[in-house]
Structure 1
Amino acid sequence: MNDRFISILSDYGFKATFGNEVDTTFLKIALKALINSSVAIKSIEFVKNDISAITIDSRSGIYDIACVDDNENHFIVEMQLSEYPEFIQRMKFYALHRFNTLVKKGEYRFENLPKIYCIGLLANSIFPQIADYHNIAVLRNTQNEIIDDQMTFITVELDKFDKKVNQVETDLEKLIYTMKNLHKVTEISQFPTFWNEDWLKKAISEVDIRNMTAEQKLAYEMTISANALAVKNEGKKIKQAKEEEKIETIKSGLKMGLTIEQCASLARVSEEFVKDIQQQFFDE
């Protein structure tokens, strides 16, 4: 392997950049760009994600972060690498959980609640009917007038972003281009000029394998190992679930009086497999 940079989309890369608690320079500018704000974020503090601080699963390898800025705005950021059409439902779950937490802390008062920004960074598309790769959603009426913007949902569908390096202008475009392309670069000579900007330079240095200490390399290798194990275990679960589903299909078919051949065709298994199930569950 000649890879020099760890993908920001990976568990380790996302944690090292967006989840860097030592230096939040990158995160502050990234969040400002993602929510399309003209107001700079002066400071940011990570808070415990009450649902799950870190989740590694075989579908995506997710690293969730929760933080609060100097204006008491709350941010929830989640990365999703695999297909997940219902992702927006999970975003609502996270945002509403944070909303309920804030209401409880305020002794069930609803005035002056801080804003909640729930941000989903997706490798794949979940809105095929929408052309734009960056969407910001708040509660609106049928006349497109804002009813409430206390809770805002932001999605970025990375696969819809196809701008070339010479077309990149805004901080949002720089962020997305970097997330999609950094791990493909092997030499600094290939850097676009905007990668020399301080916020991106700091993020890039965190995922530069040549800059990693022995401890960081170990942490990276452990993350890779953990994800590989998660994928393997999930594969076993899926295989087991499919087998159990076939068994239930066969049992139902036999109870209905279907023949062994019919059950085999229905469950898409061999007749020998059906006979084994019949013997195991129905023969005295």
Structure 2
Amino acid sequence: MKKTKSNMGKYVGFSGDWSFKFYFGREENKPILIGFLNGLFEGEKVIQDLHYRPVEQGGDVENDRKVIFDLYCTGIDGEHFIIEMQQLYQDFFKDRTVFYTSRLINKLIPKGYKGNTYELPEVYFIGILEFELGETERGKYFYDVALCDKQSNLVFYEKLGYKLLVLPNFNKNEADIKTDMDMWLYLLKNMSKLDKIPDFLDKRVFGLIFDIGEVAKLTPEDKMAYEASLKHKRDAENTYSTAQRIGHDRGLKEGLKEGIAQGEHKKAIETALNLKEMGLSTQQIAKATGLTIDEIEKLK
């Protein structure tokens, strides 16, 4: 494969905050996000259009913690979609997904008399993960989660769902890739390594991605942003792996704390920016760097 001088490859990969929002978060690229969601829902629902919404959600009172989603959008039928890319393992990732949907649901309850009925819209959390979710189901690459009755396994509540894609566990051969969701999983995992659109991908669905995703076609500003995001990703992964090595059997939290505690405020800020780029929570970054929650939330 032909590489650019900066080793960026031919196509922009999906990994990283900038790349994720480049493909899925721009109004002009909205058909890509619609295609992705339709591939994920596999006919369970058909999304015809989307509207991007502000990603920052404050609480009802001044001291409530702010929540910032990667992407947040609504469908024309009133559905709400939270879409997150998560690169590094988090101990309480499942808790975070429930917290995010709970905060959004709370904000969507009508105020005053209209709220007395408790009628809620559909809310879905979509997570693209670059780590295994846990030990219970090793090798599982798709989680389709709903509120169910334990005895009958029937869905108890239809309007809340969590769909999680675990990219490291998707290892299908090209001959076994049949569905749109398979194609999306393959692309999310391998886009940065490709030098042409594979024959088994539907050109009608994925042609736009390969057209806009060529590094050579990026504007100078986008190219600089992509290059910076790759550096952030490499730095954060190196920080993470170093902390794990230093931590040994004391676990990720202590390893992160000891491995990256340099004692220098400037270094702590650089590290916090890297970890923030990789999607770690504010609390985890605070424990890892020694910075305060307020300092971390002000970082851009």
1:173 positional shift: 0.4
Tell me the secondary structure at the aligned position of residue 159 of structure 2.
strand
What is the rounded CA distance, in whole Å, between the counterparts of 2:19 and 2:75 in structure 1?
22
Q: Which moved more, 1:3-12 or 1:116-125?
A: 3-12
2:121 matched residue in structure 1: 114
Question: Are 1:209 and 2:215 matched, yes or no?
Answer: yes
Deviation at 1:9, TM superposition (A): 1.6
Q: What is the deviation of 1:203? A: 2.0
Kept in 2, the 8 Å contact 1:47–1:66? The answer is yes
> Cα distance, 1:178 vs. partner?
0.6
Q: Which ranges of structure 2 fall in alignment gaps of 5 or more residues? A: 1-6, 59-67, 244-255, 264-300
Deviation at 1:139, TM superposition (A): 1.1
Distance 1:109 1:31 in 2: 32
Question: Per-residue deviation at 1:86?
Answer: 1.9
Q: State percent identity of aligned pairs.
A: 24
**1:234-271 deviation line (CA, Å, top 9, x unaligned):** 99983488699xxxxxxxxxxxxxxxxxxxxxxxxxxx
TM-score calculated relative to the size of structure 1: 0.71
Instruction: Give how far 1:38 is off.
Output: 4.1
Tell me the TM-score normalised to structure 2 length. Answer: 0.68
Aligned residue identity for 1:5? Y
**1:157 aligned to which of 160, 166, 179:** 166
Which residue of 2, 15, 23 corresponds with 1:17? 23
Structure 1 pair 128–226 and aligned structure 2 pair: CA distance change class (3 A): closer
Deviation of residue 7 (structure 1)?
Answer: 1.5
Change (3 A) 1:5 1:110: farther
Pairwise CA distance, 1:80:
0.9
Q: Give distance in 1, aligned partners of 2:131 and 2:186.
A: 15
C-alpha displacement of 1:69 = 0.8
Tell me the equivalent position of 2:150: 142
Moved more, 170-179 or 218-227: 218-227
Gap runs ≥5 in structure 1: 53-61, 245-284
Q: Partner of 2:55 in structure 1?
A: 49
CA drift at 1:42: 1.1
Taking only aligned residues, the RMSD between alpha carbons, in angstroms, comes to 3.0
Q: State the match for 1:273 in structure 2.
A: none
Question: Residues 117 and 2 from structure 1, CA distance in 2 versus in 1: closer, same or farther, beyond 3 angstroms?
Answer: closer
- Aligned partner of 1:126 in structure 2 is 133
Report the structure number with the largest CA radius of gyration. Answer: 1
Moved more, 2-11 or 86-95: 2-11
**Residues 57-136 of structure 1 mapped to structure 2, 5 A cutoff:** 64-104=70-110, 107-130=114-137, 131-136=139-144
